[in-house]
Structure 1
Amino acid sequence: MSHVLLTGSSGWLGRHLAPLLAARGHTVTGLDVAVGPHTLVLGSVADRELVFRTVADFGVEVIVHAGALHKPDIARFARQAFIDVNTSGTLNLLEAALAAGHERFVFTSTTSLMVRADVRDGAGPEGAWWMDESFGPLAPRNIYGVTKLAGENLCRLIARESGMATAILRTGRFFPEDDDTLARPCGPNLKANEYLHRRLSVGDAARAHLAALEADVAHWPDNSETFVLSAPPPFTRADAGELARDARAVIARAFPDAPDLYRAAGWELPERIERVYDPAHAQRRLGWRAQDDFAAILTALRDGTPFPFAHDPAWMSPVLGAGE
């Protein structure tokens, strides 16, 4: 087992990932700008001296870099803050890992950087966009996506030049707050719908990071691999055209009781699905598969059991209280 430096340890992912790593036998040192139960070092990844000192003083053997400014932070922070934290901070951690002789590095990225302007505007010429690791060209539409793509490219560059393996995890949605652009359907209904094509539970996101940390990296091309993380969609590429026209018909074929269960809950199924995240590569190469999927949503509706997602409209990133 390894001594892991976990950045973003007070955040939503970090607070679930830290205990999972510890339960697996890893020693965890958390670094965050905000106080939290798993945070031992208070400070920013943009502080290069702090990063290098932390790696050296704690005998860190591997870094899981889950800390970042996120899309909702665009309304609260200047672009320069995103450059400092998401780009320069990632470089600081990569170079500290190199200096310490680490063999691998795990980087939390985002599917958001794949959402170009045309993807944001709707379906593609053949129907729903099918978004796996080969999707491109990449043209992020905001400073969050731009800086996360830059972080990815830094990971690939250093992996290629140094031989340190880097795992890049493009996570779908897993945060508990309401959508910052859509008011309908209601938050829980929207989250449930997203398990069809673009969401995973925070527990599954944490398990994917553990899988990447412990993966066999011997045959990764250029010492780096990129993985799209989402609940497995109950569709195939052949469904792309119909999903963009009449998603409810496709859903009803896969889950005949879904319309009635949704109707009883006062929910609505999506009329159209215009992009689908495909996690098959992570399933093949990491041996990871999301435990929570749309079938789990229907089970919860049917049996009255808890949903696999947390919904908290009042959730705010700890970074706001810390003044990153």
Structure 2
Amino acid sequence: MHILLTGSSGWLGRFLAPRLRAAGHRVTGLDVAAGPDTDVIGSVADRAVVDAAFARGVDAVVHGGALHKPDIVRYPRQTFVDVNVTGTLNLLEAAVAVGCERFVFTSTTSLMISHAIRAGAGDAAVWIDETLSPLTPRNIYGVTKLAAERLCRLVHDEDGLPIVILRTGRFFPEEDDTHRALPGENMKANELLHRRLTVEDAADAHLAALERAPGVGFGTYIVSAPTPFAPGDAAALRHDAPAVIARYFPDVAALYAARGWALPATIDRVYDAALIERDLGFRCKTHFAAVLEALRMGQASPVAHDAHYVSPKERVATR
């Protein structure tokens, strides 16, 4: 197939484009920033740019380009609406117009996190799967991604375009833009327990979604590393996460101490990615046990961390 990949110069795009080609697909990359996998430079908010990309002959779309949560301090709300909402609509309408076979949309688990969940209000960790409702996103990023999801649903219902939405957990390489209590590598390892995945697994999930989209028709899936926890752990995770973690991984305290790391004192949410495994047969390869094995072997963590990473679009913006 000929795949239009948006966000082709970004963190996900640099891993996804080579995988798409290795699977036998032709890839046209679209991004606001130049990159080795980008053929069309421009914004998805510009319908003329989108139409020019589709004029190359496109069979399917993987829409990974977006403004993200850290961009909130850099861009006004209207820009989020333009890129995340209008941009998605432009792609959906163009895909229908040329008769695309399938559409994969990169969404985010962030849109499932309300102010109450974010604040950790409650006596137990929140067990989060695709049935969570109502959805009340806490910022413009979540609001616009949810609006884009709703557009996907509308276009599928009205035009029949097969669409798979992937609500991905965290896979960014840079430091957290709000939490700095722990070193970034330590924090990312901890998050692999309940809210993170590797960028390699994120890319592989998109390939699985692309392959299975026609059979699914329309589906929305959380994508995160498989958690070791069960719903019955939720209360204990909120009040004494290290004790729960130690039940599953008895040597975790010693391994962490040797690296100078700390376990999370509390966990406020757990993402359950079981549905994508049941429906699409996809399961992230890297999980928390792999981190511990790396510690045992004196190897680097399998979770990418780059404190100096800057998005290509921001490098363009600051020139």
Distance in 2, matches of 1:238 and 1:203, equals: 30
Paired residues in the alignment total 318
RMSD, aligned α-carbons: 1.1
Offset of residue 168 of structure 1: 0.4
C-alpha deviations, 1:130-178, integer Å up to 9, x for none?
1111111111111111110011000011101111111000000001000
Distance in 2, matches of 1:301 and 1:123, equals: 33
2:177 to 171, 177, 180: 180
1:303 match? 297
The answer to whether the Cα contact below 8 Å between 1:62 and 1:105 also exists between their aligned partners in 2 is yes
1:265 match? 259
Structure 2 residue 201 is matched with structure 1 residue 207: no
> How do 1:235-314 and structure 2 match up within 5 A?
235-314=229-308
Offset of residue 42 of structure 1: 0.6
C-alpha deviations, 1:55-101, integer Å up to 9, x for none?
12x11100000000100011111111101100000000000000011
Offset of residue 304 of structure 1: 1.4
Unaligned runs of 5+ in 2: none
Offset of residue 123 of structure 1: 4.8
> How do 1:184-199 and structure 2 match up within 5 A?
184-199=181-196
Distance in 2, matches of 1:313 and 1:306, equals: 15
Distance in 1, matches of 2:97 and 2:38, equals: 23
2:32 match? 33
The answer to whether the Cα contact below 8 Å between 1:123 and 1:129 also exists between their aligned partners in 2 is no
One-letter identity of the residue aligned with 1:184: A
Structure 2 residue 2 is matched with structure 1 residue 3: yes
Question: CA 1:123–1:252 in structure 2 vs 1: closer, same or farther (change >3 Å)?
Answer: farther
Offset of residue 216 of structure 1: 5.3
Question: CA 1:259–1:228 in structure 2 vs 1: closer, same or farther (change >3 Å)?
Answer: same
Offset of residue 306 of structure 1: 2.5
Alignment partner of 2:222: what SS? Answer: strand
2:113 match? 115
TM-score (normalised: structure 2): 0.98
Instruction: Report sequence identity in percent.
Output: 61
Alignment partner of 2:214: what SS? Answer: coil
Distance in 2, matches of 1:151 and 1:256, equals: 43
Q: Which stretches of structure 1, 4 residues or longer, exceed 4 Å deviation after superposition? A: none
Unaligned runs of 5+ in 1: none
Offset of residue 318 of structure 1: 1.1
Distance in 1, matches of 2:83 and 2:204, equals: 25
Distance in 2, matches of 1:231 and 1:123, equals: 24
2:21 match? 22
2:66 to 42, 65, 68: 68
The answer to whether the Cα contact below 8 Å between 1:204 and 1:291 also exists between their aligned partners in 2 is yes
Distance in 2, matches of 1:285 and 1:34, equals: 35
Structure 2 residue 12 is matched with structure 1 residue 13: yes
The answer to whether the Cα contact below 8 Å between 1:8 and 1:65 also exists between their aligned partners in 2 is yes
Question: CA 1:123–1:232 in structure 2 vs 1: closer, same or farther (change >3 Å)?
Answer: farther
Structure 2 residue 136 is matched with structure 1 residue 139: yes
Distance in 1, matches of 2:178 and 2:145, equals: 21
Distance in 1, matches of 2:201 and 2:15, equals: 10
Structure 2 residue 156 is matched with structure 1 residue 159: yes
One-letter identity of the residue aligned with 1:238: G
Distance in 2, matches of 1:120 and 1:172, equals: 15
The answer to whether the Cα contact below 8 Å between 1:128 and 1:273 also exists between their aligned partners in 2 is yes
Alignment partner of 2:194: what SS? Answer: coil
Alignment partner of 2:174: what SS? Answer: coil
Distance in 2, matches of 1:183 and 1:322, equals: 27
2:222 to 201, 220, 228: 228
Distance in 1, matches of 2:52 and 2:284, equals: 36
Offset of residue 322 of structure 1: 2.7
1:42 match? 41
Distance in 2, matches of 1:128 and 1:45, equals: 37
The answer to whether the Cα contact below 8 Å between 2:164 and 2:213 also exists between their aligned partners in 1 is no
Structure 2 residue 57 is matched with structure 1 residue 59: yes
The answer to whether the Cα contact below 8 Å between 2:195 and 2:225 also exists between their aligned partners in 1 is yes
Distance in 2, matches of 1:107 and 1:216, equals: 11
